[in-house]
Amino acid sequence: MAKKPTVTANTGDMRREALKTALTTIERKWGQGSVMKLSDNAHIRIPVIPTGSIGLDLALGVGGIPRGRVCEIYGPESSGKTTMALHIVAEAQKLGGVAAYIDAEHALDINYARRLGVKTDELLISQPDYGEQALDIADMLVRSGAVDIIVVDSVAALIPQAELEGSVGETQVGGQARLMSHALRKLTGSIHKSNTAVMFINQIRMKIGMTGYGSPETTTGGNALKFYASVRMDIRRIQTLKNADESYGIRARVKVVKNKVAPPFREASFDVLYGTGISHEGELLDMGVDLGVVDKSGAWYAFGAERLGQGKENVRQFLQEHTDVRAQIEQKLLEHLGMNEYKPKHEGGEEDASETVEADTAE
């Protein structure tokens, strides 16, 4: 019986040298960061678009949604999917970017978008008749290299032309899944080259005949988007905000269920107020209290030596009127979280709109 070869110190040195040579060759051919150890504190520079929520920017790990990638937002009805997408569009425009909104559902409320801060006069809007037209328009906009973000609302409304032209009740098995798979294969390379952020809004469905373990929920459009998306966000309504008997908003929770640019499974919660969207002031208060930046005693809130008011709604109103105090709280919060480098400057301001951020992928 042949003896098992022993590994000597020299053999180990040769293996390490061979690995080093291979890694050097890979990085020379495919770029730095194409392969790395998880223990390395490697920082990849990723350009992003902020979401309009500090908590969500933190949960995403890079300060916003990554440019040059495909992202997906999905959740039940009235959970804040479109609101969140419009906030991201508004942030892209504040940075001087060009935004396009492909309204496949034909349900975009322009007045609501304007209240969220979207410059509707500058927004490119398309209301396509069928799925192929919508995705072809998206492809042409991406290839132009002149658009910073494209929102497709929604995947469920991307009906294949064959299905649309057929009679009601006629089944087209897998038509939408094939459409999405073909479109994403075509789009992905162009998206990366043009540095465009493409965001798909999706709906959830229940799996028929689901038994045993696992979630009975799934998203529309097949599995292609799940694979091609670098970031997938699950948004849910966890509470209805009420004043006496009148509802004035919801409490939403976003879970980053997939993240290729930072550690996944982080969560963020924020208030979404009817008519005004994500409450920036409410989020500052919630995070400020949690991190000790804002003091809370009973129902009273204070920032340093200054009393802000009694009750969250009163303090929210106070911060809306006193923008200087709000800016101080935000700055303190960003410093506490170490997110100052994540905050790009808006157009016309002192910050550089093209500034990129660093993401610690080895956290």
Cα 293 from chain centroid?
26
Q: Is 82 annotated as a binding residue?
A: yes
Q: Is 188 annotated as a binding residue?
A: no
10 Å CB burial of residue 162 (0-12, 13-18, 19+) is: middle
Q: Is 354 annotated as a binding residue?
A: no
> Identity (one letter) of the amino acid at 74?
Y
Query: Which helix H or strand E contains 61, and what residues bound it?
Result: none
Measured CA to CA in angstroms, residue 270 lies from 153, 155, 251, 262, 278 at distances of 22, 25, 6, 21, 7
Q: Is 77 annotated as a binding residue?
A: yes
Cβ–Cβ under 8 Å, residues 231 and 260 = yes
Q: How far apart are CA 118 and CA 123, in angstroms?
A: 8
Residue 174: left (phi > 0), alpha (psi -120 to 50), or beta?
left
Query: ∠ CA(117), CA(280), CA(111), 5° rounding?
Result: 25
Q: How far apart are CA 4 and CA 99, in angstroms?
A: 64
Residues, the chain = 363
Q: How far apart are CA 156 and CA 255, in angstroms?
A: 21
Q: Is 75 annotated as a binding residue?
A: yes
Residue 247: left (phi > 0), alpha (psi -120 to 50), or beta?
beta
Q: Is 79 annotated as a binding residue?
A: yes
**Residue 30 is encoded by which pair of tokens?**
């495919």
Q: How far apart are CA 21 and CA 71, in angstroms?
A: 35
Q: Is 171 annotated as a binding residue?
A: no
> Identity (one letter) of the amino acid at 343?
K
**What is the DSSP-derived secondary structure letter of residue 251?**
E
Cβ–Cβ under 8 Å, residues 39 and 363 = no
Annotated binding site for ATP: which residue ranges? 75-82
Annotated binding site: which residue ranges? 75-82
